[in-house]
Amino acid sequence: MPTFKKILAGAAIVVAALGIVICLVSFWYSWSLNTQVTDDLVRLATVAERVLDVADTGLTRVDDGLTTVRGAVTVIEGMTRSAGNTLVETNLAFIVLERLVGDTLFPRIVAAQDTAVALTGTIVAFNDTLEAANRLPFVNVPTLSSELGAAAARLESARARVTEVQDTLRTIKEEKVGRPVAFITDRTTAVGQDLAAAQTIVSDTLSRIHVAQPRIVALRLRLPRLIDLLSVTITLVAAWLVAVQGFVLVRAYEYLRGRPINWARLSKREAEAA
């Protein structure tokens, strides 16, 4: 049993000494890397601000375009219902409808879809940055919606339906379809539903961006203090662990020697040597 206890005491000395070395290394790294880590994180936060600004500008343009397009859909439906089944006999109404569809509806939907597709990858990748930031203590930045791809899909559907509307107008004009109102409004109603769903997603993403923007700015300003706080915390914890492990090491050493260390005698020797 005494032999086993001495083995345990020896193991405790080794573990305590290793723990002290690890604590000292942690203390050194916490301050030697402090400035570099702070600079890198501040730079990352600055890039995040720019990405959010770009996304905000792009999605605001998409939102405005969708509002215009939905208004054009309403005008097309209103004109179609007003003209009624005599639409096939009214060249002026046809010209206005074709221009609304070709000059307003189709190009704006294409532009909105292209912007949404371009921003989808950016926002999905940027979410990883926000999630990493949220792992820092006292940080809470809302992540962005990953549903922008669904908005792009709805815009693709609306784009296909607008093409159907264009084909429908040509069919009505060439073949004199008997019930042109339902022929057009059935398709414009579907276009309106796709546009409304896409705009809801875009508006939700914009709202999240507007919440995230000031928090990213605040995070950038707080980062130096946060990193310093982490360094101080690591230093205090390391100091406490060094003290505890030093105590264990001394006690284990005294057990192996069979008697306590005479600190007064050691101090006297140091004084004489000095």
Rounded to an integer, the average pLDDT of 172-199 is 74
d(C-alpha 55, C-alpha 119), whole Å: 7
60-115 pLDDT, tens digit per residue, is: 888 888 888 888 778 777 777 776 666 656 554 556 566 666 666 777 777 887 88
Report whether 73 contacts 195 (CB < 8 A): yes
Which of 31-35, 43-47, 94-98 has the least mean pLDDT? Answer: 94-98
pLDDT, residue 268, reads 58
pLDDT higher than 80, residue 43? yes
Report whether 37 contacts 256 (CB < 8 A): no
Helices within the chain (DSSP H only) = 2-32, 34-83, 91-99, 106-133, 148-175, 180-257, 263-273
pLDDT higher than 60, residue 272? no
pLDDT, residue 158, reads 79
Residues in the chain: 274
Banded pLDDT at 116 (limits 50, 70, 90): confident
Position with higher pLDDT, 260 vs 228: 228
d(C-alpha 105, C-alpha 76), whole Å: 10
Banded pLDDT at 230 (limits 50, 70, 90): confident
Packing angle, helices 106-133 and 148-175, rounded to 10: 170
User: Which residues neighbour 90 within 8 Å (Cβ) at sequence distance 6 or greater?
Assistant: 83
- Tell me which residue has tokens 């792992």: 135
Position with higher pLDDT, 138 vs 243: 243
Identity (one letter) of the amino acid at 65?
Answer: G
Which of 28-32, 121-125, 244-248 has the least mean pLDDT? Answer: 121-125
By C-alpha distance, which of 53, 52, 32, 33 is closest to 41? 33
d(C-alpha 266, C-alpha 98), whole Å: 101
Average pLDDT, the chain: 76
d(C-alpha 9, C-alpha 106), whole Å: 81
Percent of the chain with pLDDT over 90: 0
136-177 pLDDT, tens digit per residue, is: 666 666 666 667 777 878 878 877 877 777 777 677 666 655
Which of 93-107, 123-137, 205-219 has the least mean pLDDT? Answer: 93-107
For 230, the token pair is 């982490």
